[in-house]
């Protein structure tokens, strides 16, 4: 008697470097500048029109006419132009729902150069060598790319296993292609691994409640040369992928804080009437938080934990760094030394690494049922009460 294994669909991205000829690079640069210009024209058109005349159909007609009137915009494939329109409307939707700021003009030197290829069937991907593949780019032609991961191409392609689209992205190392991949694979068995609490930080990137902290070292991330910065960013992203995969394979339940990172990195400069304090120190801290990319780490942990049959849970953030994980005593003076936690309770005297203490508190909040509510973006009423945890092993 055979038992059919449950199947689950999974979507993910895969990024590969393109090997372009100088002529191909100039063509893609032209498309990217055209996409940025189309975004700016669309934004100007949208903001100047009265509200009652704004609609998706009117915007679609406007960009179609612009591609006919301006040869500069005509170098952008029609499907890529439609992708610009779709992305622009999605940006406004994110703004209306409170997830992001309102869209604005894209500067020539401040915005990332990119081109969308929304239709996967246009790519016609083939593997020609163990290290190289070939992809068809609209109005560019056949282009080689580095083959570093098996992709659903050729006879392995069907409605459940296919590449749904791609995006061309340029950084200091050149042009890359990011494939959007959809595959169907066996649903994972429930993860039987232990539970772990994780505290994200600047000194220790990921502090675990069991003491198995994860650190990526300190590569030359602050160089002034763009290529060095791009390589450092790529190495940091690679470290995030490898570390989150290792954690998802090891632990069945991963517990993190429900942080509002956008509020944490706000400037402290204040106003002319009420200037802020320690502005330069806060700016340095904001840069460090942004470079660690905490939100991206949590996103990776979420989908990778689900991939391996585990779960990711968020708990209330307030008090985790100042509460003693041994006795539950909370006081601001326990963190006079930023790296070390010292309990000021005379009957306790617990002393440990501050990040490890916070990770133990994070895990304990989950064990006693104080879980953040994702839908509301706030914590439960009980989470505001004083917590007295037992020692976390």
Q: What average pLDDT does this structure show over 165-183?
A: 93
Q: What average pLDDT does this structure show over 351-365?
A: 87
Q: What is the pLDDT of residue 276?
A: 59
Token pair, residue 275, equals 């200037």
Reported as a pLDDT band with limits 50, 70 and 90, residue 115 is very high
- In 3D space, the residue among 256, 269, 271, 264 whose CA is nearest the CA of residue 287 turns out to be 264
H helices present in the chain, as ranges: 22-48, 56-69, 71-74, 78-96, 226-250, 261-264, 279-292, 294-307, 354-367
Q: Where are the domains of the chain?
A: 6-184, 195-384
pLDDT tens-digit series, residues 91-110: 999 888 888 889 999 988 88
Q: What is the pLDDT of residue 157?
A: 83
Reported as a pLDDT band with limits 50, 70 and 90, residue 262 is low
Length of the chain: 393
Distance of CA 95 to the CA centre of its chain: 18
* DSSP structural state of residue 325: T
Reported as a pLDDT band with limits 50, 70 and 90, residue 377 is very low
pLDDT surpasses 70 at 373: no
Q: What is the pLDDT of residue 234?
A: 82
């Amino acid at each position: 008697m055979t038992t059919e294994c449950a199947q689950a669909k999974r979507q993910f991205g895969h990024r590969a470097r393109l090997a372009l000829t100088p002529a191909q690079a100039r063509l893609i640069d032209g498309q990217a500048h055209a996409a940025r210009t189309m975004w700016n024209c669309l934004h100007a058109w949208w903001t100047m029109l009265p509200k009652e005349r704004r609609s998706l159909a009117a915007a679609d007609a406007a960009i179609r006419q612009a591609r006919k009137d301006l040869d500069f915009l005509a170098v952008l494939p029609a499907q890529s132009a439609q992708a610009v329109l779709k992305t622009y409307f999605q940006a406004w939707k994110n703004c209306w729902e409170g997830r992001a700021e309102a869209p604005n003009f894209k500067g020539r030197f401040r915005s990332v150069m990119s081109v969308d290829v929304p239709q996967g069937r246009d790519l016609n991907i083939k593997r020609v060598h163990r290290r190289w593949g070939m992809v068809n780019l609209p109005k560019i032609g056949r282009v080689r790319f580095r083959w570093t991961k098996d992709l659903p191409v050729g006879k392995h392609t069907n409605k459940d296993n296919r590449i749904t689209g791609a995006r061309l992205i340029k950084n200091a190392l050149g042009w890359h292609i990011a494939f959007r991949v959809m595959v169907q694979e066996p649903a994972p068995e429930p993860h039987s691994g232990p539970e772990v609490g994780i505290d994200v930080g600047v000194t220790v990137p990921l502090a675990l409640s069991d003491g198995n902290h994860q650190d990526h070292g300190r590569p030359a991330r602050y160089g002034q040369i763009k290529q060095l910065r791009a390589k450092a960013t790529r190495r940091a992203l690679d470290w995030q992928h490898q570390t989150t995969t290792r954690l998802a394979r090891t632990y069945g339940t991963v517990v993190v804080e429900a942080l509002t990172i956008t509020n944490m990195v706000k400037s402290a400069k204040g106003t002319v009437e009420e200037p802020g304090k320690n502005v330069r120190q806060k700016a340095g801290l904001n840069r460090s938080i942004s470079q660690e990319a905490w939100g991206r780490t949590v996103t990776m942990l979420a989908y990778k934990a689900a991939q391996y049959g585990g779960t990711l849970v968020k708990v209330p953030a307030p008090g985790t760094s100042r509460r003693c994980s041994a006795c539950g005593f909370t006081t601001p003076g326990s963190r006079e030394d930023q790296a070390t936690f010292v309990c000021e309770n005379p009957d306790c005297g617990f002393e440990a690494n501050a990040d490890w203490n916070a990770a133990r508190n994070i895990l304990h909040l989950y064990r006693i049922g104080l879980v953040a509510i994702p839908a509301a973006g706030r914590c439960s009423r009980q989470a505001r009460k004083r917590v007295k945890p037992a020692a976390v092993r």
